[in-house]
Amino acid sequence: MALSEVPSENVSKTPIFLMATAGVRLLPEPQQASLLKGVCKFLQMNTKFHLPDCGERVQVISGETEGLYGWIATNYLLGALDRPKEHVHGKGHHTYGFLDMGGASAQIAFAPNTTEAERHANDLKLVRMRRLDGSSVEYKVFTATWLGFGANKARLRYIQSLVESYDGPVDEIPDPCMPKGLRSYLGENSGLGKSIIGKTLVGTGAFDECLKRTYPLLRKDAPCEDHPCLLNGQHVPAIDFEVNHFIGVSEYWHTTHGVFGKEQQAYDLASYQQKVLAFCSREWASIESDIVKRKKSAAQKIQDAQEACFKASWLINVLYEGIGIPRLGLGLSSRPSFNTTYDKPGNGRQDLLNSFQPIDTVEGVEVSWTLGKMVLYASGQISPHLSSLPVGFGSNVASKTPSDFEHAGSLPLTSDSYFDSEDSDIDNDNTFGNQTLYSILALMFVALLVVFFLQRPDRSRRIQNIWRRRQSSRKPRSGLSLTNKIFGRGTANYERILEQGEATRYELDDYSEGIIGSDSSDGSHANRYHGPGVPKVVLGRLEEGQQPSVMDRTGLVLRTESRERLAPNLQMLNAGRRSRATSPTRLKSPLMTPTQAE
């Protein structure tokens, strides 16, 4: 796919990164190292992309780094970094929180309000980027990860606990997190322990029971060494949901808009729960029949439907019982969604002010942590102004570069170093232009001589007489060279023409190009050959013409335009006013909670 986007002549100058996440983080370190070494060797042997350092470009990243990249990507795409006035959340806050859930892990990243940022300064990451003018902008972001809390790993933990809850040798185990009548055999490839292999799960479609069964998987009873904590004893600064609005991607999007939702419909908790209840209580045979009728390739849809009830239960518990998203949105929203590929920013701006909103794409661009890495890399290519602090992220240390600082991995671009091939092409063009200029100036000089000699017969005779007298005289005449005699009173003018020609050779490349090929330029052939007035016209052009801007030179224009395309739109402002520390009281859904009394 990359080769279809990158011009062939730029492939060798285009950096390539491969960053592994939770699936590889679960492997033992020796296996990780072996895998990365093999991947790097493959890339170097089979691609021409720029890969100077495998250790930096091919690596396993932490969950915290993954979340931080996701936060950058989300706020970049939504315009919160460079257009803060369009994203006013109150209390001087304008960025969005980021929630990501994959198969193996889940991440959270957000900028706490001012009070919490001061209280938990040591827990925050300092993210430093550059605006297009070279000035630095910094954000203080909290990021955390939960390995094993992704949808697939959570499902395995759920099955383990479900089977263990039944005593004795039971081959068929009722599963409230599957539609009625659905049977799922647990084979050797299920990823479960030997004691569970060979058993069969039988769906009962009891979604309220499913919520209760999945709630303990949050591990909210785990010891919390640094309050407050969310899932699994993980410390997280208090979230102010009046200003912290979260965007969910990956499973947050697919679980809410796959089986249960439409892409055009904004997420709403109450309507979502109603759809889940209706679906999960249906007979599996009926669900499967409907899928086969509507879909030509139904295999993936059937698998999604089999897993949908558990994933919905897990998502609801993580969001509202784990993270603490307020249970608002108790009516079906009629507003258009911001979540579709064809919606433009602004159509669903009000949806983004909800405490939680799942998103897949923004104007056709997928919201993914990988984009965040590229935005940071591009930001590092902007030349610094005033401050020389590097682009990247690390411990929250103001105006310094901490020891754990992770650099963007890029160097500032300069007009002299950007794209060597472009410079080479430009130099070749300039060399050709200079050679052509020399020829033109020589021809002009000869033409002027011819015009001067042939313009008036009496001038020719007068020059011949001067030459004869010079030959007949033995006395040297100081200062009367052949050149001086020919040009007479016009000497200064012609010398100035030659001086300007020298200046043109080194400074006015664009003017020489206009002489050579532009039919509309003032120096075209149609304008230059006038007869007696030629010297005066040429002199006037050179004296009166303005010194051209260096930005008119083809080379710099190309480099500038390329740089503008690569540089991210990073006109950013810091948030900063104080706001309150505590989260607002959360309303409970009138429909269900996993801990409600039976």
Are 151 and 313 in contact by the 8 Å Cβ rule? The answer is no
Q: Give the closest residue to 80 by CA, choosing from 137, 9, 156.
A: 137
What's the token pair of residue 429?
A: 């063009």
Q: Before 228, cis peptide (omega within 30)?
A: yes
Q: Which runs of consecutive H residues, i.e. helices, occur in 47-120? A: 54-57, 63-78, 114-119
HSE-CB at 593 with a 13 A cutoff on CA atoms is: 15
What's the token pair of residue 502?
A: 């020298």
Q: What percent of the chain is helix, strand and coil (3-state, nearest 5)? A: 45, 10, 40
Q: Give the closest residue to 484 by CA, choosing from 471, 498, 494, 475.
A: 494
With residue 59 as reference, give the H or E element that holds it.
strand 58-60
The annotation status of 104 as a binding-site residue, yes or no, is yes
Instruction: Name the one residue in this structure whose structure tokens are 């895998």.
Output: 35
Instruction: Name the one residue in this structure whose structure tokens are 């020389």.
Output: 388
- Cα 452 to Cα 366: distance, rounded to the nearest angstrom: 72
Amino acid identity of residue 511, one-letter, is Y
- Cα 339 to Cα 351: distance, rounded to the nearest angstrom: 10
Residue 140 β-bridge partners: 126
Q: Which residues contact 462 (CB under 8 A, 6 or more apart)?
A: none
Are 287 and 305 in contact by the 8 Å Cβ rule? The answer is yes
Phi, psi of 250 (to 5 degrees): 60, -120
Are 184 and 306 in contact by the 8 Å Cβ rule? The answer is yes
The annotation status of 103 as a binding-site residue, yes or no, is yes
- Cα 137 to Cα 444: distance, rounded to the nearest angstrom: 56
Active site residues: 66
Q: Parallel, antiparallel, or unpaired: how do β-strands 361-362 and 356-358 relate?
A: unpaired
CA 240 to chain centre: 27
- Largest distance between two CA atoms of the chain: 136
Instruction: Name the one residue in this structure whose structure tokens are 């009166």.
Output: 544
Q: Parallel, antiparallel, or unpaired: how do β-strands 18-20 and 183-185 relate?
A: unpaired
Phi, psi of 178 (to 5 degrees): -130, 150
- Cα 89 to Cα 95: distance, rounded to the nearest angstrom: 8
Residue 138 β-bridge partners: 128
Are 233 and 97 in contact by the 8 Å Cβ rule? The answer is no
| Distance separating the N- and C-terminal Cα atoms of the chain | 53
The annotation status of 105 as a binding-site residue, yes or no, is yes
- Cα 512 to Cα 75: distance, rounded to the nearest angstrom: 47
Q: 576 vs 93, 114, 253, 263, 536, CA distance in Å?
A: 7, 6, 31, 35, 65
The annotation status of 106 as a binding-site residue, yes or no, is yes
In the annotated binding site, the residues are: 103-107
In the annotated binding site for ATP, the residues are: 103-107
